[in-house]
Structure 1
Amino acid sequence: MAFNAKILKNILYLVGAGPGDPDLLTMKAYKILKKADVVLFDHLVDAEILEIVPDSCLKVYVGKEPYADFTPQEDIHTRIAQYCQEYGHVVRLKGGDPYIYGRGFEELLFAEKLGIEVQYVPGISSMQGAGFHHIPLTHRGVSDGVWTLTGTKKDGRLSSDLQLAIQSNSTVVIYMGMKKLDEIARTYVMCGKGDTPAAILQHVTLPAQREVVCKVGDLLKASRDNGLSHPAIIVIGEVVRLHAANSCDILSNRQYKVY
């Protein structure tokens, strides 16, 4: 479907729903959802958040479940154009933050070409959910910063920046990396850092959240032995060792522990 005419009315909100827990939604996001005419929502948006919208609001699922059924980005663009022509307040609701591996900026560029006004509303990213496992992303004297990498680029490869991140004194957080655990581990081992503490955090901030702490070289085994899969993030660095429960386990003879 082609949309050549300029759209000079209505507004698209790119809203971050946060990492999962509905209580972590921002007040601005809540207010926008309360007046939404249409909500285009992702796979990881909690059902309780969708209850905020008015009864008259049209709720449209446009999710992308990893390695399963997904809505092509082109179809999402078509729906954005369609609903912004027909309704007043259209909300594109994304898990986490729209601009952190959420393709939100692609949707902004598309909407702006059609003359649609766009407002961005940040959301808490899933990497910040590491704090719910008492893993700080930075800590004075331990981690100088954070490298945030994708485990799966557009061409399917692991980000080559991992080689650079390993050499830094910073925490490494990998999104969409559960299919690349073996490659991540081998990369660290080849750099002589296979004993670096690591954690796999699944369903962060939700009641079903799980954590596996291990040496980075054992990521694949720890994941398989404990049945962890996506959605999950991988946190690698000395910050994983800081929490007492994690520290004792990593320094023991056991390979990993599930919390």
Structure 2
Amino acid sequence: MGKVFLLGAGLGTRDYLTVRGWEILKRAEVVIYDALGSQELLDILPQDCLRLFVGKRGGEKSTPQGDIDRLLVEYGQSGKRVVRLKGGDPYIFGRSHPEILALKEAACDFEVIPGISSALAAPLLAGIPLTHKDLSRGFFVGTAHSLGAFDWSALAQLETLVFLMGGRNLAEICDRLMAAGRSPQTPVAIIRAAGLSEQRAWTGTLQTITEQTATIQKLSPCVIIVGQVVSLREDYMYQAPLQGKTILITRAASQSSEFTALLAETGANILEMPALEIREPSTWEPLDQAIASLETFNWLILTSANGVEYFFQRLETLGKDARALGNLKIAVVGKKTEKFLRNHGLKADYIPPDFIADSLVENFPESLRHQKILFPRVETGGRDILVQELSQQGAEIVEVPAYESGCPFRIPPHVWQAIQAQKIDFITFASSKTVRNFWHLLQQQGGDFRVLEKAKIVSVGPQTSQVCLELLQRVDLEAKEYTLEGLRDVIINHQK
């Protein structure tokens, strides 16, 4: 049986999407979406999901509501998992009523998933409380599409007013309120694109705000707040350390970015660009043979989170678990690698200082002579210096491919648009491979390095910096601690 989900997209980014909404999008087979969203949400969808745009914009050609209703019924009856993706909340100016009636009439199973409305979120993100014990004991929310339907003498008496979809009607809203007796000095705020990287806010009064925003080419989509609570903005507004900055993270396509979560806490707008595709090696035979003879090894060396995950996946596939490593000592490079090892219930016996492979041999806790070491690693493109140095110290190294990494086919369109428009403040690289693949993808787009002029190139450590200098001709910032936290901190310190 198929099912239709009327899903509130909130402000249109993953940050303000509900967990339930995320789960629904990940399993969608058809998505019918409007204009109040972002590419971020569409990126959550499975690659084979059918995407149908039915957005409505004031003054522009749009899909008739009847056609949308028919699409929902058609795909809902086809046995598919259908998502009707709406901006904000489905029941707040979301035109859900005709769609639900159509689904019920056609006996289609459906579910409504709430979303965060911009009527609530935009004031908060701009530092404006909608309620206050002295200034606002309640608030009105209305659409500016039908201003003539309101009793303006009654609205003028309310402490706080919120208007959605009112960018083109700002002057009329102000005029009607003043004509109804509201003081011309009443504070007004306009928040455009709330929760997005291009969010902007203007404050003024009923008398001044129209003139203040007269030169702004486009105010929509915006939320208009009228009331004394607007004057509290300076008290409530928190300026995060990277507020207003856009950071491009290059990462593996198959991994959710821990770095994104770290940077999101700083107030930065994050763009993720897959610069590595992690996949199975061309053959499992060498790793399988090594796992079959684990008792012959003294040490297991793991230098990446990918190495940890693919090694343990293969261990499980072969019917073994962590107990098979009982006689082995384990060395890991990097805090992230250690964290992934701990997820499997194991603790590293040795972690080199500086969190880099180059210091592993120099500080190894025991003589390497006659040690037999298993080294699951990337199949191609890895650095050989570690193997050479271990061998020179008398160790027997058994290298086995545990995974492969490759370059994606292209830069995502929304990321390339931001690069071309020079809207990116920092580009971060957490490995040499991400630098090489970014450079390769940039070459595919014409290789014009001028599009990077305004962006700071940020490297996780010396080896990555060396490749940045080689290919991108510069590196502006390098982490002092060669970790994701170190990358974050060097960016924040640069802004101080």
TM-score w.r.t. the length of structure 1 is 0.85
Distance of 1:28 and 1:161 partners within structure 2 = 38
Equivalent positions of 1:155-170 (< 5 A) are 157-169=147-159
Q: Does 1:244 align with 2:271?
A: no
Percent identical: 35
SS at match of 1:91: strand
Q: Is the 8 A contact 2:127 2:236 kept in 1?
A: no
Q: Does 1:176 align with 2:175?
A: no
Q: Is the 8 A contact 1:202 1:211 kept in 2?
A: yes
What is the deviation of 1:245?
A: 7.2
Greater CA drift, 219-228 or 133-142: 219-228
Q: Larger % of helix: which? A: 2
Question: What is the one-letter code of the residue matched to 1:225?
Answer: T
What is aligned with 2:23? 31
Greater CA drift, 53-62 or 218-227: 218-227
What is aligned with 1:71? 63
Q: Does 1:134 align with 2:109?
A: no
Q: Does 1:109 align with 2:89?
A: no
What is the deviation of 1:52?
A: 0.9
Post-superposition CA distance 1:84-122 (Å, at most 9, x none): 122321100011111111102321122111111221101
What is aligned with 2:54? 62
SS at match of 2:214: helix
What is aligned with 2:285? none
The answer for unaligned runs of 5 or more in structure 2 is 238-496
What is the deviation of 1:180?
A: 1.6
What is the deviation of 1:23?
A: 1.1
SS at match of 2:77: helix
Post-superposition CA distance 1:165-206 (Å, at most 9, x none): 22123x100012122222111112221422110011100111
Q: Out of 173, 186, 191, which is 2:175 matched to?
A: 186
Q: Does 1:144 align with 2:143?
A: no
Distance of 1:228 and 1:56 partners within structure 2 = 35
Distance of 2:64 and 2:232 partners within structure 1 = 41
Q: Is the 8 A contact 1:185 1:218 kept in 2?
A: no
Distance of 1:16 and 1:91 partners within structure 2 = 10
Question: What is the one-letter code of the residue matched to 1:119?
Answer: E
Q: Does 1:11 align with 2:40?
A: no
Q: Is the 8 A contact 2:69 2:98 kept in 1?
A: no
Question: What is the one-letter code of the residue matched to 2:134?
Answer: G
What is aligned with 1:208? 198
Post-superposition CA distance 1:34-57 (Å, at most 9, x none): 111100011121111111111221
Q: Is the 8 A contact 1:16 1:95 kept in 2?
A: yes
Distance of 1:75 and 1:174 partners within structure 2 = 28
What is aligned with 2:219? 229
Question: What is the one-letter code of the residue matched to 1:146?
Answer: F
Distance of 2:193 and 2:182 partners within structure 1 = 30
Distance of 2:115 and 2:182 partners within structure 1 = 36
Q: Out of 179, 182, 195, which is 2:185 matched to?
A: 195
Question: What is the one-letter code of the residue matched to 2:214?
Answer: R
Q: Is the 8 A contact 1:149 1:159 kept in 2?
A: no
SS at match of 1:179: helix
SS at match of 2:145: coil
Question: What is the one-letter code of the residue matched to 1:180?
Answer: N
What is the deviation of 1:246?
A: 9.5
SS at match of 2:52: strand
TM-score w.r.t. the length of structure 2 is 0.46
Q: Is the 8 A contact 2:13 2:40 kept in 1?
A: no
Distance of 2:4 and 2:151 partners within structure 1 = 33
Question: What is the one-letter code of the residue matched to 2:63?
Answer: T
What is aligned with 1:53? 45
Distance of 2:31 and 2:57 partners within structure 1 = 18
Distance of 2:169 and 2:57 partners within structure 1 = 17
Post-superposition CA distance 1:101-150 (Å, at most 9, x none): 11023211221111112211011111222111101111221101110011
User: Higher Cα Rg: structure 1 or 2?
Assistant: 2
Greater CA drift, 25-34 or 47-56: 47-56
Distance of 2:112 and 2:65 partners within structure 1 = 18
What is aligned with 1:6? none
Equivalent positions of 1:115-126 (< 5 A) are 115-126=107-118
Question: What is the one-letter code of the residue matched to 1:10?
Answer: G
Q: Flag the structure with more relative contact order, 1 or 2, with Cα contacts below 8 A and sequence separation at least 6.
A: 1
Structure-2 change in CA distance of 1:228 and 1:104 (3 Å): same
SS at match of 1:173: strand
SS at match of 2:204: strand
What is aligned with 2:33? 41
Distance of 1:106 and 1:195 partners within structure 2 = 41
The answer for unaligned runs of 5 or more in structure 1 is 1-8, 248-259
